[in-house]
Amino acid sequence: MNTRHLPSSVGVRRRELLQVGSSALLGLSLGRALEAQAGVGKSAGLTPRAKSVILAFQTGACSHHDTFDMKPEASAEARGPFKPIATTVPGFQVCEHLPKLAERAKKYAIVRSLAHRDNNHLMSTHHMLTGHFQPGGFFDKVASRDDWPCYAAACDLLRPRTDAIPSGVNLPTFLMSAPLTWPGQHGGLLAPKHDPWQITSDPNAADFKVDNLTLAAGMDVDHLEDRRALLAEINARQQVLDRNEEQKRLTNQQQLAFSMLTSRGLHEAFDLKREPDAVRDRYGRHTYGQSLLLARRLVEIGVPIVQVNLGRVQQWDNHANIFATLQNQLLPPVDQGMSALLDDLEASGRLAETLVILVGEFGRTPKINAQAGRDHWGYCFSGLFAGAGVQGGQVIGKSDAMGAYPLSKAYTPDDVGATVYTSLGIDPESTIHDRQGRPLQLNLGRPIAPLYGSSNDA
């Protein structure tokens, strides 16, 4: 990776700054805002059905050849050792290490012709998490406030909330590896007040808790109003911090923090101990499973966008030893957790109003390399889509015999973004404004119409 470009003030520096204004007094470092802004534009054509979106992101990029687009007839250098197995949908096969998802194939659709032209992790991650090419993008361009807003940030702008529920939550990792901070995780050009709430605790840990929802020792809700008055006085006198966008954000965050601290629904959503042991066991007692369970609980209380990072930075970046890594470490927990999530959402009726997406930033090369891994490949990859009107049990798109390029219509991350926004009832053609006040179109893609049974995709 290119290490010449240092990360912007995203992540650690931002959190440290927030602590100056509120943590010392309240034991919290909460980041959200309540300012209401513009509405949406004209309809994108599909009926909005989603109240929430769960985006399960395979950071580092999963191999489509070894999961949902296997090529058993290809040469050995392309097909790998894994065997395809039948699903409950005739003619549709998946990898043998995804047996639970094979049993649930009628609940989801697979798009096998996702594609873009980039093979860089950072730029491609930005593209997938925002539905827009990174402005001024170049190899390993780190996160900045010139980036496009993530889905949660745009949702917060166009659908501002007035309750204690955040518009977006990212968990359980922040994609950062010094000196690089992955773009696409925050509000970008919309400013910090629209950033999603970032959780960096492992939901599978025995002592899991979200400190942002925990009062300082010895404090109770009855004393919050006194502390609010004291905090306001200190903030009014505080002149040592530069008056930049990060500092301006503090007051709104502190106000919302008081609301969140007294939100019983939010507290309960993060309390995984409220789930029966049998349910937690079904998801799997691992980070992937418990993170997906937490995502389910968050959409149940109305969080519109939940992004679950399935692993640390580049967890799926398997340039070597790919098959043992997939078989023993990566595919089983995804198979278990995603299957339990789909089952629970369907059983509760929430699958009809929750769009679920499983995808990475690109695919892997058709040719297995000398280290028995697969390298970066943006020209063709697969994604799983379920819920909110998506017609399950179908495969959309087709790749060539090597899984190298789409043979049918290619769908870009822009189209994924248009699908997310349209499903939520947000017009992809909505106007947003950059930091200079210039109008910009939110998204340039088109919804993936075949997901909803439409063949009109010219």
| pLDDT tens track, the chain, 458 positions | 433 322 232 233 333 323 223 332 323 333 322 222 333 333 345 789 999 999 999 999 999 999 999 999 999 889 999 999 999 999 999 999 999 999 999 999 999 999 999 999 999 999 999 999 999 999 999 999 999 999 999 999 999 988 889 999 999 999 999 899 999 999 999 988 899 999 999 999 999 988 655 544 554 545 545 555 555 555 555 554 445 555 555 455 555 555 565 566 788 899 999 999 999 999 999 999 999 999 999 999 999 999 999 999 999 999 999 999 999 999 999 999 999 999 999 999 999 999 999 999 999 999 999 999 999 999 999 999 999 999 999 999 999 999 999 999 999 999 999 999 999 999 999 999 998 999 999 999 999 999 999 765 54
Tally of domains within the chain: 1
pLDDT score, position 9: 27
Distance CA(202)–CA(296), nearest Å, equals 16
Q: Residue with structure tokens 């909005």?
A: 48
CATH number of residue 163's parent domain: 3.40.720.10
The answer to the question of residue 339 being in a domain is yes
Q: Which two tokens stand for residue 60?
A: 């580092």
Structural domain includes residue 149: yes
Specify the amino acid at residue 415.
D
Decide if 444 is inside a domain.
yes
Asked whether residue 457 is domain-assigned, the answer is no
Domain that holds residue 108: 12-452
As to burial, measured by CB atoms within 10 angstroms (0-12 exposed, 13-18 middle, 19+ buried), residue 32 is: buried
- Please provide residue 382's backbone torsions phi and psi, each rounded to the nearest 5 degrees: -120, 155
H or E element: which one contains 443? none
β pairing state of 363-364 and 376-377: antiparallel
The verdict on residue 458 lying in a domain is no
The secondary structure of 278-333, three-state, reads: HHHHHHCCCHHHHHHHHHHHHHHCCCCEEEEECCCCCCCCCCCCHHHHHHHHHHHH
Nearest partner of 125 among 47, 182, 70, judged by Cα: 182
The sign one gets for the Cα dihedral 123, 61, 393, 74 is positive
Q: Would residue 3 count as lying in a domain?
A: no
Is residue 300 classed exposed, middle or buried when 0-12, 13-18 and 19+ CB atoms within 10 A define those classes?
middle
Residue 5 domain-assigned?
no
Q: In this structure, is residue 140 part of a structural domain?
A: yes
